[in-house]
Amino acid sequence: MNPRVVALRAGVRRGRIEFGQTMTNAGELIGWLWLPVVALVVMYAFGDGPLPGVDFSLGAQSVPGILAMNAVFTGLMGLAMALTMDREDGTLLRAKATPNGMLAYVIGKVLGKAGLTVAVLLLMLLPAVFVFDGLEPGRVSTWVTLAWVLLLGLLATLPIGAILGAVFGNAQSLGFVMLPIMGLVAVSGVFYPITALPGWLQAVGQVFPLYWLGLGLRSAMLPDALAVAEIGDSWRHLETVVALGAWAVVGFALAPVVLRRMARRESGSGRAAAVS
């Protein structure tokens, strides 16, 4: 059989194994769930005021945004952290010592984190539709939109995670990335409609995929009438596809280059030599 096909399959297997490891480890699962749980609880407790101009609770409106934010934390940051940690413990070097191992490693990591992102999102969404009034789980379009938005969102954000994980030397330095991401959360209309921000901040928010992922998820889960709270009074599906698609194209063009450079540098005593 073609060795690349073998590696591809092995990558899928790796993704499945690592996804299974996370899902069966209570401690780790709680680690991934606490942040969105806290965010949702806070919005449930304090978000009972109405959205300006519409008869709809602020809390329910924020659910898709929180899920989008968490998808970025789980997928993008999770992948970046996994890459730095795997470099520290030699997992990456092991992949390099195996024929076509690097290809399988990257495929496995991406699939594992993508699976985890979807699983965490569903684990949060299912209770949320019972707790928050006004979400629309009964429509077919809800789930169709959710599926394509999430897929595009993952394609747009996971390569960024891989690049960050390759560029940053260790898990600690990766912590600095959290700051700009928190800033991004603030300008991406996660908790409150982006239309409340000044125009230039709206422009900044619309450059990055988090805003578009959130917008897409809102369009999936919220009643159509709520589009009036968005820019242009519209869910802007076409723009969502273009924006997320552009991030995906750039990410998929850059990530292999950066990952290859990272792999080339990988050697057993590399870190030891750098330290001493």
Partner 1 sequence: MQTNDNQRKPSVVDTRGLRMRYGPTDVLKGVDLTVGQGEVVALLGPNGAGKTTTIEILEGFRKRSGGDVRVLGVDPDEGDEAWRARLGVVLQSWRDHGRWRVRELLSYLSAFYEPYREQVFDTDELIDVVGLAEHAHKRIGTLSGGQRRRLDVAVGLVGRPDLLFLDEPTVGFDPEARREFHELVRRLTGTTILLTTHDLTEAEKLADRIVILVSGRVVADGTAAELAARIAGKAEVRYRLDGQEHVLSAADSTGYVRELFAEHGKAVEDLEVRRADLEDVYLALVRESEEVTA
Burial 136-161 (b: 16+ CB within 10 A, else e): eeeeeebeebbeebbebbbbbbbbbb
Q: On the CB side of 55, how many CA atoms lie within 13 Å of its CA?
A: 0
Site for partner 1 in 13-42 (CB under 8 A): 13-14, 17-18, 21, 25
The answer to whether residue 93 forms part of the interface with partner 1 (CB under 8 A) is yes
Whose Cβ is closer to partner 1: residue 115's or residue 216's? Answer: 115
CA distance 127 to 37: 10
The answer to whether residue 222 forms part of the interface with partner 1 (CB under 8 A) is no
User: Cβ contacts of residue 77 below 8 Å, gap of 6+?
Assistant: 161, 174, 177, 178, 181
- The single residue among 12, 37, 54, 98 that binds partner 1, judged by CB under 8 A, is 98
**Which helix (H) or strand (E) is 269 found in, with range?**
none
Token digits for 87? 């470099």
| CA neighbor of 220 nearest in space, from 118, 111, 275, 146 | 146
Q: How far is the CB of 16 from partner 1 (least distance, A)?
A: 11
- The single residue among 29, 35, 91, 202 that binds partner 1, judged by CB under 8 A, is 91
Whose Cβ is closer to partner 1: residue 7's or residue 221's? Answer: 7
The answer to whether residue 273 forms part of the interface with partner 1 (CB under 8 A) is yes
Q: What's the chain's length in residues?
A: 276
Q: How far is the CB of 90 from partner 1 (least distance, A)?
A: 4
User: Cβ contacts of residue 72 below 8 Å, gap of 6+?
Assistant: 157, 181, 209, 210, 213
Q: How far is the CB of 24 from partner 1 (least distance, A)?
A: 10
- The single residue among 29, 42, 44, 86 that binds partner 1, judged by CB under 8 A, is 86
Q: How far is the CB of 59 from partner 1 (least distance, A)?
A: 37
Confirm if 63 and 223 have CB atoms less than 8 A apart: no
Whose Cβ is closer to partner 1: residue 97's or residue 225's? Answer: 97
Confirm if 237 and 141 have CB atoms less than 8 A apart: no
Q: Of 63-71, 96-104, 136-144, 224-232, which segment contacts partner 1 by CB under 8 A?
A: 96-104
Report the interface residues with partner 1, using CB under 8 A: 1-3, 6-7, 9-10, 13-14, 17-18, 21, 25, 86, 89-91, 93-94, 96-101, 104, 266-269, 273
